[in-house]
Amino acid sequence: MLKKKTARREVFIIALAAAVLCIALGIYGVWRSFERFDSSILTEKDTQLYSLMRSGDINMENSINSIQREAETFLGRERLKSEIANWRESRNIESLRTYISNNTLVTNPIYADLVMNHKDKTICTASGNNSYSQITGSDANSMSLWKDEDDAYYMAWHQEAAGGITYDILIDLQKLYSIAIGRSNDREIMLLDAASVVTLTAGTESPVVMETHTETGDRLSQFRDFMMSCQKEGIADGISVDTADDAGNGYTARMVAVPSGSTVNGEFAMGILVNYEDAIAPSRKAAGEILLYGGIAVIGVAGLLLLLILMRRENAASSAELRVLKKKNEAMEEINQKMQALAHHQRLETIGTMTASIAHDFNNLLTPIMGYSIMTMEMLPADATDLQENLMEIYDASVKAKDIVTRLADLTKKGNEENFKEIEIDEVIQSALKVTLPAKPKAVEVKANFNAEGEMIKADRTQISQLVMNIVLNAYDAMREKGGTLLVSTRISGEEVVIRFKDNGCGMDTETMSRIFDPFYTTKESGKGTGLGLAIVAQIVETHGGKIYVDSEPGAGTEFRIYIPLAGAELESLAWGPGGEGKFDTKRYSVNLIRKELARIQAEKEAEAKAQN
């Protein structure tokens, strides 16, 4: 007893240690998951910010390109060249200044002024303001930074002309920012010129241009320093910093910057600043709620498992009693099924006896009809072709009816091992198919391909016929509504004959196909099927030492393949149409037979008449 308690204690300690380890691993996994979650949100947010900056970048490029195109058009006019020539001759600047002042660029919203220079000296300006000074040299795009005496900053596009004349088209940076970037309440966008001299921000009322060394608030100072760092290193980057808004409320800001070398406009580095907490807070809240409710669900599942363990102990006795009752019920159900099967078998035997008796009576009635038809045809004159045709149809119908009745009578006979004889399989299948033809729907076509000619099997002919009829009639029912084709074929495979029945009817699902050989299982309506047909087929195949396989799919039809051992004897058999294949047609064969017989009788009569003459 002491050893058992010690063992249980060890198991308990191990289980407790495993539980603690699982909890620790779970907490670590949750922490790592939150890290990955924040990282994925950060990456997604940065992508959105880059897209926003890209839009403003393209707007700036379009605005700059627009004023450059307009400037090129104006500076290329002949009138301007003419005014410059007059100035050179007369040294009178007034006419040239007047023409420049009325240039077509004044309609462009970002245009500020046009400065005309000669040998690096200002000749005149469109606005009359001569206080401009150039802060930076021209870059690869012929752009430079200028300012005037009022500390207003401009971006100037430099254009050279003949005779030492140059032009600088000044762009108003505040207007450029307003048109290309605009204002937004949820983000700040800063522009930094390529030389890192000035920055542009939205400001509280209008865009603000200030030199980078100007003192400003902590938020804008952090933002400017980060952008200058990205511009200096020539990389696009993002960073999260703790800062405060204008009201002094602290929050985490996300800054993303792109250097001027990576922007479309090429003149300004661009940066964007947003409140990162506003973007990530809903996602973090959702993740926290998932964790909380997931923990509650785990606790609920653990409680449920504990309750199930307790209930299992209480229900052990009830389960044992239930199993006993279930076995008794299954035994009663088996007895009931056997009694029903016996009663049904007795009904089938009664029907079989009645069928045999009725078949005998029908044969007695059909014999005189056939005989009198032949006798009457012999009595008719040779020119009574219409009557001969009518009597031939009567005889033909009687032959087919007699054949059907004979087959039905054969099927009512019981099969046993004493009746096993060597039979030709192709001939037996053809005979069975003839019996089924009256039940064939009009929209169904029967095709055959027999390749076991002369091959014999040792079998009960009646049972093999019954096997064929049961499968064929089921195929007819499967194709009754939509029609289709039934292919019946035979072939030799080693020491076996393979009989194949393939239709393209409604098919069966897996559940139905698994039960088709069960006695009394049927999918037909009540009164339209006994559920014994395929069960009998399986029993016949087993009795003859064979195998049966079935393949089916809903809407794609059904295929039965039956393998029966050969007897080994080789006998000749009738072929099934030309080449051993073709559509089955009893009328064609029976009518041809009668016509041949009548032709033979007519030829004999003609020969007798010639002999008498």
Strand partners, 309: none
Give the Å distances, CA to CA, from 425 to 372, 548, 569: 35, 16, 12
Query: Residue 565's beta-bridge partner residues?
Result: 496
pLDDT at 572: 35
The values of phi and psi at residue 87, to 5°, are -65, -40
Helix (H, G, I), strand (E, B) or coil at 455: strand
3-state secondary structure of 568: coil
Phi-psi region of 61 (alpha: psi -120 to 50; beta: other; left: phi over 0): alpha
The neighbour count for residue 116, using CB atoms within 10 Å, is 22
Q: What is residue 570's DSSP assignment?
A: B
Joined tokens for residue 14: 């191990």
Query: For the chain, what percentages of helix, strand and coil (3-state, to nearest 5) are there?
Result: 55, 20, 25
Give the integer Cα–Cα distance in Å for 169 and 195.
19
Cβ-contact 256, 276 below 8 angstroms: no
pLDDT value at position 574?
Answer: 30
Helix (H) or strand (E) holding 312: helix 276-314
Count Cα neighbours of 177 within 13 Å in the Cβ-side half-sphere.
26
3-state SS assignment for residue 92 = coil
Helices 173-180 and 2-75: crossing angle in degrees, nearest 10, is 130
What pLDDT score was predicted for residue 57? 87
User: Which parts of 68-186 are beta strand (E)?
Assistant: 111-118, 121-125, 133-134, 143-147, 153-160, 165-172
Give all domains of the chain, ordered by start, each with its CATH number: 49-278 (no CATH), 417-576 (3.30.565.10)
DSSP 8-state assignment for residue 438:
G
pLDDT for 345 equals: 60
Going by C-alpha positions, the residue among 365, 382, 50, 64 that lies closest to residue 230 is 50
Exposed/middle/buried for residue 148 (C-beta within 10 Å: 0-12, 13-18, 19+): middle
Residue 324 φ/ψ, nearest 5 degrees: -65, -45
How high is the mean pLDDT in each 10-residue block of the chain (613 residues)?
64 70 69 64 78 87 91 90 88 88 89 90 89 89 91 91 89 91 85 91 88 85 89 88 81 88 89 78 64 72 72 70 80 75 60 66 77 79 80 80 64 58 87 84 89 85 86 88 90 90 87 74 61 76 86 87 76 32 34 49 75 73
The residue with tokens 């920012």 is 177
CA atoms of 199 and 212, how far apart (whole Å): 6
Q: What is the pLDDT of residue 326?
A: 82
